[in-house]
Amino acid sequence: MAEKFGHQSSYVYADNNPVRFIDYMGMNAWQPNGDGTWTAEKGDGAETLAQDAGISREKAYRIMAEQGYGTYVDKNDGITKSAIDPGEVTDVNSEEIANKKREIANVKSEIISNNKKIERNNFKKDSLKKEGNVKMQQRDAAFNTAKEAFGDGPNQAGSRFFYGILSGKREGQSRKDLRDAKKLEKKNDSLRYVNKKLKEKIQ
């Protein structure tokens, strides 16, 4: 045992941490597999599983019983032990880990989707701003054309009225485009806020 746990003392009592672990038999620690399952070492059982996996004794005994690893009383020392052999694996929280991984994947997928929406909104917003500015320029051009071509004489009132309607229409369209562009920017702000909260959720 000392060869296997060279970083600890040769006695390996309580995994060199008697405050945290109660290992009166000098048992080895369960080996975590990283996927919510644990592999038993010699002398392992529900008691050491509870300590190593950070779960209650009741949960450890229940998990092992549900997975076919019951208990027995050792005839030599009269101590109740778990019926599990070294190398056997017990599943502690693989489902929880899998669910967490799925949750993280879903969150990342939602963030990617929101980023794509932001990109599309930015493209539409820029196009609307450009169109709005062009229409505003057309309004100014129509107004100036009417003024230069027809002057301010009373006989040209009809022509000036026509160009006035045209320039007013262009201005209305321009203002609408700019309002829509602002709405898209607000949507993007909301999407950025949602992404911020989603990132905090999986950190």
Q: What is the pLDDT of residues 102-124, one digit of tens each?
A: 888 999 999 999 999 999 999 99
pLDDT band at 23 (very low <50, low <70, confident <90, very high): very low
| pLDDT tens, position by position, 77-95 | 776 777 888 889 888 886 7
pTM of the model: 0.50
* Distance of alpha carbon 43 from alpha carbon 29, whole angstroms: 9
In terms of Cα–Cα distance, which of 30, 59, 66, 32 is closest to 45?
30
Cα separation, 26 vs 16, in Å, equals: 10
Percent of the chain with pLDDT over 90: 20
Provide mean pLDDT across the span 65-70.
84
